[in-house]
Structure 1
Amino acid sequence: MSPLSQNEQLHADSLSEIENCPLLESECRSTHLNRPLTTILPEEYDEAWEGVRFNEGVLSCRLRFHELGAKWETLGSLSKVKGEFYLIDFHDALLSSDPGTERGSTDFHREFLSQLRPIDRTPRSGAGIQTYIRMQAGVDDLELWYSDIADIGKSPYPPGFIKLDIGYCEYLETLLLTKGAYGWQYLFSDISLGRGDFSDSANNLENMLRVFPELFPDRDYSSLRPRLEARL
């Protein structure tokens, strides 16, 4: 196996933090490395992606793990926090199916859905939560979109999808902090968590910011607090 890159080592260490934390019950998984991202031409996977390119930032921070992820929850008297993530290698992401163009009610909806490929998901819980990268030609920073409950998103996009205001590298960086706590992606979206149907996500994130500084004292959560407060 080729040596881990600096970012790959950070994520392997983060997975070990979850697995070795005595106050978390967890199922963790890490598999072999795939071929480097530099060999990928998106149009080899779909001719509609001619002109789609991963920029140098993505090339520098990408992870080559075939799969890396965990499902976990706090134990004992700690405030209840749950989470899950399973990062998908770009090769496998591009081979995955889109969310289903039949869900689109307009030509724009169907085109948009055909551009989405999963990079993170929640397979063990069956929650159906996924984060997608949008494959668009001529775009310097490929967009990330999050899908959770049906009642999110704004026109002209189909319901059930909301754009994140972070790119792929920042997504991975923030995952080192949140460990995939359910709903963390909402901290980087234009949404209010004050609605009743977001109470579970809001409570999970509030508890995360209460508990995680104790569980992972070497990590700094100060950047996430104002984001949550702005959405409550």
Structure 2
Amino acid sequence: MSTLTQNEQLHLDSLNEIENSPQLESQCSGTELDMPLSIILPEEYNESWEGVRFSEDMLSCYVRFYELGAAWRTVGTLPDVKGEFSLINFNDALESSDPGTESGTTDFQREFLSQLCPIDRTPRSGAGIQTYIRMQADVDELELWYSDIADIGQSPYPPGFIKLDIGYCEYLKALLLTKGTYGWQYLFADISLARRDFLDGANNLKNMLQVFPELFPDRDYSSLRTRLEARL
């Protein structure tokens, strides 16, 4: 393996934390490296992405793993917590089809859907949860959008998508804490988790914040706790 960057090593260590924890039942994969982000040109994948550029922050924080992911759940007497993530390298992400422009009901929605590329998904569980990066030209930082249940988001955007208030680098940093706990992305979105249809998801996050400080005592979960409390 080529020499890992500091951020790549952090994410590999985090994966090892999941795999080596006796309190978690897990399936983990991913160590091979793919091409660096600096040589990937979006317009070579889709001519409509001419002018899309990755920020210097993205170039520095990017993890080159071909795929890095895990599906896991707590075992034994611990409160039930489940999670999954699978980071996709941008070479594959940009070749992936969009979420389906035919589902858009307006020209704006169809254009929006055509701009989305998956960067994180849940292939082991088949839950269909994905995080996308929005390929827009001439913006300082590319947006991240989360897709889970249908009843999120608001006009003029299509249902089922909600914008995250963090960028790509912050997403990777948060993943080190959450380990892909289902629904963690809602902690970084403008949404209330007090809704009845979010009951299971909110409980999963509550249990995460009860269990993870014990499983991973070197990590600080105070910021996530604050975000969850603000959404309940």
CA distance in 2, matches of 1:43, 1:71: 33
SS at match of 2:223: coil
Corresponding letter in the other structure for 1:34: D
CA shift for structure 1 position 2: 1.2
Alignment of 1:1-232 (within 5 A): 1-232=1-232
CA distance in 2, matches of 1:37, 1:189: 26
1:89-138 deviation per Cα after TM superposition (whole angstroms, max 9, x unaligned): 01110011100001101100100000000000000101000000000000
Corresponding letter in the other structure for 1:177: L
CA distance in 2, matches of 1:101, 1:37: 26
CA shift for structure 1 position 31: 3.6
CA distance in 2, matches of 1:91, 1:190: 30
TM-score by length of 2: 0.99
SS at match of 2:170: helix
TM-score by length of 1: 0.99
Alpha-carbon RMSD:
0.5
CA distance in 2, matches of 1:62, 1:90: 9
Corresponding letter in the other structure for 1:176: L
CA distance in 1, matches of 2:23, 2:98: 37
CA shift for structure 1 position 161: 0.1
SS at match of 2:79: coil
CA shift for structure 1 position 147: 0.1
CA distance in 1, matches of 2:103, 2:200: 26
CA distance in 2, matches of 1:73, 1:183: 14
Corresponding letter in the other structure for 2:193: L
1:172-202 deviation per Cα after TM superposition (whole angstroms, max 9, x unaligned): 0000000000000000000000000000110
5+ unaligned residues in a row in structure 2: which ranges? Answer: none
SS at match of 1:95: coil
Report runs of 4+ in structure 1 exceeding 4 Å deviation.
none
Identity of aligned residues (%): 78
CA shift for structure 1 position 50: 0.4
CA distance in 2, matches of 1:57, 1:47: 24
SS at match of 2:231: coil
CA distance in 1, matches of 2:129, 2:211: 23
